[in-house]
Amino acid sequence: MTELHDLTANEQLVALRAREVSPVELTRHYLDRIMRLDDGLGAFVEVTADAALARAAALGDEAPEGALWGLPFADKDLVPRAGVPTRFGSRLHQDFVPDATADQAAVLDEAGGISLGKTNTPEFGLTGYTETQIAPPARDPWTPINGAGGSSGGAATAVAAGLLPLAPASDGGGSIRIPAATVGVVGIKPSRGRVPFASGLDSPGGLPVAGPIARTVADAALLLDVQVAGRRYSYATAAPGAGLFLNAATADTASARIGVTTVSPWDDSEDIRLDPEASRAVDVATALLADAGHGVDRFDWRPRGYAELFTTIWRTSAARMNLSDAELELVEPITAWLVREGRELTGAQVLEALAAATVFERETITAFALFDAVLTPALALPPQPVGWFHPTDASANFSQQVRYAPYSSFVNVAGLPAIVVPVTLSASGHPVSVQLIGRPGGEARIITLAAELGAQGRRVAATGCLARVAFGVQSAVPARVV
């Protein structure tokens, strides 16, 4: 029997607007699943059941208005919501309750969404895994011994386990795409400047942007539309292009030229070893796109000097946090290391890194300009056990993060849009994803390609290598948590 969480977010909205299900019924359904299943998954750090049910009841008395009317979501625990504890993944803020709601949350409220609480995130969102001193780790629902990635690990876990239909997230170096790929769901990192309230344009290097996580490409596009339309642009350099991205998820695909590479900008500085399953996912996606009539070409890309510029900018971002020496003794070792390293940088070093980032952006966009999209692995390694990242040696920890996800952060530095979508199953039955990177402002094209990639994948599911996978279209909720 089909249950509510088996429906896509778009299907749930149809049912809500047709009054086949009420906002209260849908909210209760998800709250019940959270109560039953989240203890072993660590998706949530705060559940606001009473507030959610009260809002659902109020919405049920109104006409169905708003793109997310009656649909549950949850705020990442980096996003303040008035009256709800916001801990930023840190014991420094265990008792912090904001008195104002940030745009990232308010925009979804205004679209008619219902927040169920806060999703798990690492301390200040600084790492690509979600394990903190104040909450259980976010785990991969497919194999709960493994972590869910980060920094939007709780959001990805909640979506993959059917605890939410979709979730807002943020991505400063892969924080949407890493967890989405880890747990086999869809994640979109928009172009720099695309989302008005989290454009990246007011941060060093322009790295962090807001975006969606969902089980389908169309559901992710739905949430991205809400995030883009929620506020007016306040920068002259807003991403180009317009129109509903949800339409792109169902649009016919014109023939595209797609470049394929497994080169990482970290190859010269880290021992990057591509797992055979990740390589096979790229090969399968390449074949699917070629069979669909697209021009697909392997190309040689040789980025230079990336490791130094990114580590400098990342440390600079951490150093901006106003933490005392006493507070640095209380935070995670990786946080303290990044802050202290950042404070040792000179102004000249920071300016050189920012200038190098501009050069890298230009050279990367030029290298990719021949293509409508570039296909890469999503991750280099399969999901790793909770505790795999070194708990005390921060330098080793950072290196592990790079080796796990070397294809993510450079997209932020270049300001380009990207989407991750599962395309194969590993030998153990776990989804394996690929990444499509678009041109500046090119979200619509990669959304269309990702949706087509999913449709093509389902046609060969009978071979066994593609069965049970979301493909950006159908549910990938593991049987063990249904």
Task: Give the per-residue SS3 of 152-218.
Answer: CHHHHHHHHCCCCCEEEEEECCCCCHHHHHHHCCEEEECCCCCCHHHCCCCCHHHCCEEEEEECCHH
What are the catalytic residues? 76, 151, 175
Q: How far apart are CA 217 and CA 224, in angstroms?
A: 10
Q: What is the Cβ-side half-sphere exposure of residue 279, based on CA atoms within 13 angstroms? A: 6
Reported in sequence order, the residue ranges of 43-128 that DSSP labels E, i.e. its strands, are 44-47, 72-76, 114-119
Q: Which residue in 202, 102, 200 sits closest to 409, CA to CA?
A: 200
Tell me which DSSP letter residue 257 carries: E
Q: How far apart are CA 460 and CA 289, in angstroms?
A: 13
Helix (H, G, I), strand (E, B), or coil: what is residue 168? strand
Q: Which residue in 368, 370, 373, 367 sits closest to 452, CA to CA?
A: 373
User: What is the helix (H) or strand (E) element at residue 344, kind and residue range?
Assistant: helix 333-344
Contact 212, 166 (CB under 8 A): yes
Number of H-type helices and E-type strands within the chain? 16, 11
Q: Which residue in 482, 477, 381, 409 sits closest to 140, CA to CA?
A: 477
Please state, in angstroms and as integers, the Cα–Cα distance from residue 101 to each residue in 83, 97, 108, 123, 314, following that order.
9, 11, 11, 20, 27
